[in-house]
Amino acid sequence: MAEENEPVEEAFENYAKAGRIAGKVLGFARAEAKVGARLLDLAEKMEAMVKAEGGSVAFPVNLSLNEEAAHRTPATDDLLAIGEKDLLKIDAGVHVDGFIADCALSIDFSGERSKLVEASEKALENALAVMHAGVPVRRVGEEIQKTIAASGFRPIENLCGHSLEQYALHAGQEIPNVARGDYVLREGDVFAVEPFATNGKGTVIEGSFCEIFSIEEPRPVRLPNSRKIVDFALTQCGGLPFAKRWLEEIVAQPFLNLSLADLVKQGILRPYPVLVEEGRGAVSQKETTVIVERDSVKVLV
């Protein structure tokens, strides 16, 4: 983005293209996600479609189930399939030259959590309705919190929407899911807005499953396999998050696990464990990406 938070015309065009691709991919995923479908197959099809449509994958497809709120992407040997009682969150990111569109939806296969899904959808709708330049993010969070509470559920307090910049998925500012925050929206800001609703405690904690990583602090490394991973993260991903399964063609097991653990220990890589609702409540999510305008927002997905 240009200085003074005013994206140049090319940036707008790239955001718009990323949004169009993301919308196609999310629509494809909604149709493909059926009981019995393997999560690995769905993730790989979605990521392949992003590339076929002329975009790049901004982060590994997240396919989080039930009490999981985010950060589950399948492992290479993952046999997990969608069950008839599952609540699935599909979260996908597309970038064009680093300009990112981030989007998500929830599918309730049981039919028993439709009101929970509707709560996050309505919260997003109401949040977008109050967003424009000059609005404090606290006001947006208040609208999300109020809408979800009115449906009989709780927002996830320690998850939030986030500002986007070129090759920066979390660029520093937040759209909270509760009434907090001092930042005031500015014309030209780009934000992913993502209400999470739950019938649990309203907070998430880290689980043990982790298949997503990103560069935290690039530094020279001595071991060849570690160098391959760092080079891949920087040159192929531009510093954006990547999946362990993307690396298995360049670093064989068990060396891959050892190298990842070493890089995390050194602070060179950041791990993204699956985030689980603290009370093991079910979680729904709805997300889109917007550009803030003078009197409204431009919705990209």
Same domain? 40 vs 73: yes
Please tell me which residue in 162, 165, 189, 277 is annotated as part of the active site.
Answer: 162
- Kindly state whether residues 88 and 237 are assigned to the same domain: no
Percent of the chain with pLDDT over 90: 97
> Mean pLDDT, the chain, as a whole number?
96
Q: Are residues 170 and 251 in the same domain?
A: no
Q: What is the pLDDT of residue 9?
A: 86
Q: What is the pLDDT of residues 176-234, one digit of tens each?
A: 999 999 999 999 999 999 999 999 999 999 999 999 999 999 999 999 999 999 999 99
201 and 219 within one domain: no
Instruction: Say what the pLDDT of residue 198 is.
Output: 98
**What is the pTM (predicted TM-score) of this model?**
0.94
The C-alpha angle with vertex 83 and arms to 44 and 279, in degrees rounded to 5, equals 100
**Can 162 be counted among the known catalytic residues?**
yes
Do 29 and 83 reside in the same domain of the chain?
Answer: yes
| 128 and 225, same domain (yes or no) | no
Q: Are 35 and 111 in contact (CB under 8 A)?
A: no
Is the same domain home to 134 and 187?
yes
Say if CB 280 and CB 67 are below 8 A apart: yes
pLDDT at 7: 53
Q: Collapsing DSSP states into helix, strand and coil, what is residue 27?
A: helix
Peptide bond between residue 155 and the one before it cis (omega within 30 degrees of 0): no
- If pLDDT is split at 50, 70 and 90, which confidence band does 8 have? confident
Same domain for 159 and 10, yes or no, is yes
Mean pLDDT for the stretch of residues 59-66: 98
Residue 80's CATH number = 3.90.230.10
Q: What's the total number of domains in the chain?
A: 2
Band (pLDDT 50/70/90 cuts) for residue 2 is very low
Given the residues 44, 132, 170, 278, select the one marked as catalytic.
Answer: 170
Residue numbers of the domain that contains 89? 3-207+275-299
Q: Which of 102, 174, 211, 277 is catalytic?
A: 102
Instruction: Look up 170 and say whether it is catalytic.
Output: yes
* 212 bridge partner residues: 243
- Out of 47, 165, 194, 277, the active site residue is 194
Same domain as 70, residue 120: yes
| For range 237-259, the mean pLDDT | 96
* DSSP-derived secondary structure letter, 245: G
Taking 50 as the threshold, does the pLDDT of residue 3 lie above it? no
194 assigned to active site: yes
Mean pLDDT in residue range 146-158? 98
Same domain, 47 and 195: yes
Q: Are 97 and 51 members of one domain?
A: yes
Q: Are residues 37 and 116 in the same domain?
A: yes
274 CB contacts (<8 Å, ≥6 apart)?
64, 68, 70, 71, 72, 206, 207, 208, 209, 210
Question: In the predicted model, what is the mean pLDDT of residues 131-160?
Answer: 98
Q: What is the pLDDT of residues 69-126, one digit of tens each?
A: 999 999 999 999 999 999 999 999 999 999 999 999 999 999 999 999 999 999 999 9
Catalytic residue among 68, 86, 91, 165: 91
CATH number at residue 246: 1.10.10.10
